[in-house]
Structure 1
Amino acid sequence: MIQRKLKLDGGEELEGIHDLPWEILSTDVRRTAEMLILMPGPVVELTSAELTELHECMEDFTKVPRKELRIPFVRLLSHGAFHPIQRDTSWYLFHAKRKNLAGVGNFLRANPKVNEMLRRDKVSWAAFSDLDPGSAKFQGDQIHLSKDLMNMKSSKGFMRTTAHEIGHATLQRMLILKEHWDITQWKHCGEEVPAEVLNTGGKALYAQWKVLRKHPEYLVVQDLRLDHLGDKVSTIRGEGRQAYVAGSFTEFCAECFALLALNSQEFKAIIDEWCNCESVPGEVKAAWSKALEVLNICEARLLEPK
């Protein structure tokens, strides 16, 4: 069960914003206090002065909290996703872009059902993983973000990549029977997904992906905005990314989640436009219509209405 508590000035654990003392309730500090109360994980113990300092650092990212507050600050920024040990906190605060950590936190706060699923399935986060520049991956039960990705200037690019990995850990797993979550043996390009590993929704979406992959120009994909990589990586935008999603059902699942999570309205508008265009093949229109039936159910179970 997710714990939602804050302990202030050595007093009782606060279970809601209504438990805050008036001198905090009557100031902007209440926003930070409420985020701490709602943050999953262990109880946070602070003095009123420390709470005020954390609030000031949340409001002004040029400020650096003192050493003993850095762990709760990183946890607060990321809504409990990252749990650094003391010696590593400087990496999060000085080498990483705090706004990217805050992007993770804001996303998880805005989508509590996603966060609850990640925590229920014991999915953890690893920052500064030794991966290729700009890359990320979901492996085992861990979302890995590369050093380069954590430091990237484009917050949109960071969140698009991160949301894609969250999609592997959530929407993808919603469509696969739990005993087959370790899908490394069949997830790569061109390999068939055994029917016995998918649930009913998974089988329905997989059937439509098999149609759509024959028409990659009609696969909706993100532009990851990893411009600093230049032309070194072909899978970050456009036709290269469409080919990437056409090559793997699990990548299709993850990309659809990111599109639904970050801009569902635009995603569905593109599909609607194709479905009303005479030049689009009929099997593409039918496949997207049926795919959306599954994706809409997943969206309702995972994401908050926009």
Structure 2
Amino acid sequence: MAEITAALVKELRESSGAGMMDCKKALTETGGDLEAAVDWLRKKGLAAAAKKAGRVAAEGLVGVAAEGTSGAVVEVNSETDFVARNDSFQDFVRNVAEVALAEGGDLDKIQAATYPGAGHSVADELTSMIAKIGENMALRRTAGISVDEGVVCSYIHNQTAPGLGKIGVLVGLASSGDKAKLEALGRQLAMHVAAAQPQAVDRDGVDASALDRERDVLSEQARASGKPEEIIAKMVEGRLRKFYEEVCLLEQVFVIDGENKVSKVLEAAAKDVGAPVSIAGFVRFQLGEGVEREEQDFAAEVAATLGG
């Protein structure tokens, strides 16, 4: 019998798309014969994942998990919304969110971590899920937030199951104040982030390239007015203030009351909770954002199937 080396297992995994432990078992069962191992995996339905890896996965679920001073959010994609309603898929996303919480939202660590209740990794469990359900899936992204003192709160918009939905938000509040009141405020702020879609906590956090792009656009718009350059400069700065009010969380009008800026809400909250309150950070994941969805021509698909 051929020696079952790590290189042989790796080669089988790359050619079949099956999980590492499944590949090792297949090689053991077939005496190290690579081709026979591929057939063994196919018979078990474990090599099916490879064929599905190229298909666009833009549906799925966002999952959140938060406890005390830490929180994590994950996005797991599938090809169809039908699979997103599958209990097994929902359990997988929920478990991965818990793993993400333990691993601080680090994607590589999450994929390598042991999947709850199994003797293999999260990555291998995902491969097994692909083979079992019959759709391409992907653990697309994860993020984590933690504070030294305070709370991390989560919110799922249009929740489809506990901790799961299409939009997931984490907000970290740094404060030594009353925890219960901080939790209530944090949830409201998370709801605000879901609705208002801020890009940064404050002006210092705005992406430099996004700011340059906005400044260029505003400058060209102002020059079209034909006014002198010194007037144009003032016009641009005035319009940039409006831009900051749209993208900076602290400068946005709080959606809960529709009147005060978030910065003022935090000032008022400090008196209520008994200590200063600051936003340590936030994360907002919306399912499928940035994914190029495959446009299907149904007539062409039928013609191709018929060989026309």
- Pick the TM interval, shorter chain: under 0.3
Q: TM-score, normalised by structure 1?
A: 0.26
Q: TM-score, normalised by structure 2?
A: 0.26
Higher relative contact order (CA 8 A, sep 6+): 2
